[in-house]
Amino acid sequence: MSDKTTGTSGATELRAAEPGPVKPAGRLKADADLKQLMGKYYNGVFWAHRLHRPIAWITSGAPVEPLYAMGITPVYPENYGAILGSRKCAVEYCEIAEGAGYSRDLCSYARGSIGSMMADRGPLNGRGLPAPDVLICAKNICNVVVKWWEVMARHYNKPLFILDTPYVPEEPVKPHQLEFVRGQLEEMIAFLEKHTKRRLSRSRLVRVLENSTKTVALWEEVQRYRQASPSPSSALDMFTNMAPIVAIRGTDACVKYYRKLADELKERAAHGVGPVPNERYRLVWDNIAIWHNFRLMKYFHERGAVFVGETYTNAWGEYSFSPEDYKDPIMAMARQYSGVLLNVGPEVRLGRLLKMARDYRADGVVFHSNRSCKTYSLSQYFLARGVQEQLGLPTLFIEADMTDPRAYADAATKTRVDAFLEILEGRKEAGGVGATAGAGAGGRTC
Ligand code: SF4
């Protein structure tokens, strides 16, 4: 897959614009629409269950387009895990799973979701997620999902399809790998047709792919505005705003929402409005959000640091299809879903990260060493070394878990943040600037 990291042309225009005095920005106006949109999505999930319409429990890296084209409602246990984290009830559900023998070393999305499933309760309407009719697991993000999905399929006694995607150590994806994944996708569609009694219409699939393409283009546009100084939004906004591109990618409602969000960020960027008045340090975040502790992001903000890019949110800009692809939509999906961030080699990941740091003129990179997600965290020391050696940027490691606060120490983390920001300040005072300064030694790790 080609590197779809946001381009630079828009940023040049934005940097050329006179930003004027920095104004503090409150919440995005689009947040109200976001709440409504995702509320409607989850209402739709519960209604689908009541109306006996087919529901598929699906992994975040799986191709959702055939499901929408067939009128099957996708449900994302991983997104649900993030909800448990942000509503600060993950521990309650993780402990139910742990009590049944699931190790605390397992991904907390899996533990929380399994706990909620076992107890059949959760924060959305008092019950757990509505039961699936089928389950789809793509192993392009990690191996945990394979066992996790097996557990859920056994619990509900429902059919499971595992979509096998070979690891991609270097780009582009090899033709024989693509052929293999194409075969898998054809089997997946046959599986869905068999178990839901719905047929996949090619024209409907293309229509959904067109919406995915528009969504991804708008998401890239949104990200591009963040290259402006001050950045019109931060990781706080983007982590919550990625929910639609994950769960309802391919729908008209998703396209409409991101058009509105892009317009709002464009206006903010044009008027020099950002979440961090007197933005002093521009940072890139690697790994999933710490959903249970957004206060840590605010701690950065209060000290003049803003996250202008995240590898996690940026990765969702990789699911794009070109009009040429619509001639062979299955092959297009094989290509896109093989090259996702967690299925590529560390060198490819490093290339994407360096490009982000340059494009967004980062002053440093913060690595969330996420106890839950080994796939994401494993190569972070390699990435940090690459950032230090090739861009001369300091890096910070934060040890935490995306939803389980038991694996996070607030005071110790803040001490490290303070030390990291002191290093950045020292570089500023010495005349050092961000990633556009080019390669060179000088990066340090906290
Ligand atoms: S281990 Fe990582 S990639 Fe796998 S489900 Fe958990 S968070 Fe997602």
At residue 230's C-alpha, the angle toward residues 444 and 385, to 5°, is 20
Ligand 1 centroid vs 172 CA: distance in angstroms?
24
Ligand 1 centroid vs 3 CA: distance in angstroms?
22
Q: In this structure, which residue's CA is closest to atom 6 in ligand 1?
A: 107
Q: What is the mean pLDDT of residues 202-206?
A: 96
The residue among 155, 163, 154 whose CA lies nearest residue 58 is 163
Pocket of ligand 1 (CB under 6 A): 78, 107, 109, 141-142, 144-145, 342, 372-373, 375-376
| pLDDT score of 444 | 72
String of DSSP letters for 176-218: HHHHHHHHHHHHHHHHHHHHH--PPPHHHHHHHHHHHHHHHHH
Contact assessment for residue 384 and residue 346, using Cβ atoms and an 8 Å cutoff: no
Contact assessment for residue 365 and residue 286, using Cβ atoms and an 8 Å cutoff: yes
Q: In 229-253, which positions are buried (b, 16+ CB within 10 angstroms) versus exposed (e)? A: bbbbbbbbbbbbbbbbbbbbbbbee
Roughly how many angstroms between the first and final C-alpha of the chain, as a whole number?
Answer: 33
Instruction: Determine whether 347 is exposed, middle or buried from the number of CB atoms within 10 Å of its CB (0-12, 13-18, 19+).
Output: middle
pLDDT band at residue 412, thresholds of 50, 70 and 90? very high
Q: What are the tens digits of pLDDT across the range 122-158?
A: 999 899 999 999 999 999 999 999 999 999 999 999 9
Q: What are the tens digits of pLDDT across the range 62-89?
A: 999 999 999 999 999 999 999 999 999 9
Residue found under tokens 């096998």: 164
**What is the set of domains in the chain, with CATH numbers?**
45-199 (3.40.50.11890)
Give the lowest-confidence range in 16-30, 205-219, 311-325, 363-377.
Answer: 16-30
Question: Could you tell which of 109, 146, 290 is best to mutate to test the pocket of ligand 1, judged by most ligand atoms within 8 Å of the CB?
Answer: 109
Ligand 1 centroid vs 267 CA: distance in angstroms?
35
Ligand 1 centroid vs 424 CA: distance in angstroms?
31
Ligand 1 centroid vs 61 CA: distance in angstroms?
10
Beta strand residue intervals within 359-416, DSSP E: 364-370, 395-400
Q: What are the tens digits of pLDDT across the range 9-59?
A: 344 344 433 444 455 677 899 999 999 999 999 999 999 999 999 999 999
**Helix (H) / strand (E) containing 259:** helix 252-270
Q: Contacts by 173-176 with C-beta closer than 8 Å and gap 24+? A: 173/1, 173/335, 173/338, 173/339
Q: What are the tens digits of pLDDT across the range 264-312?
A: 999 999 999 999 978 999 999 999 999 999 999 999 999 999 999 999 9
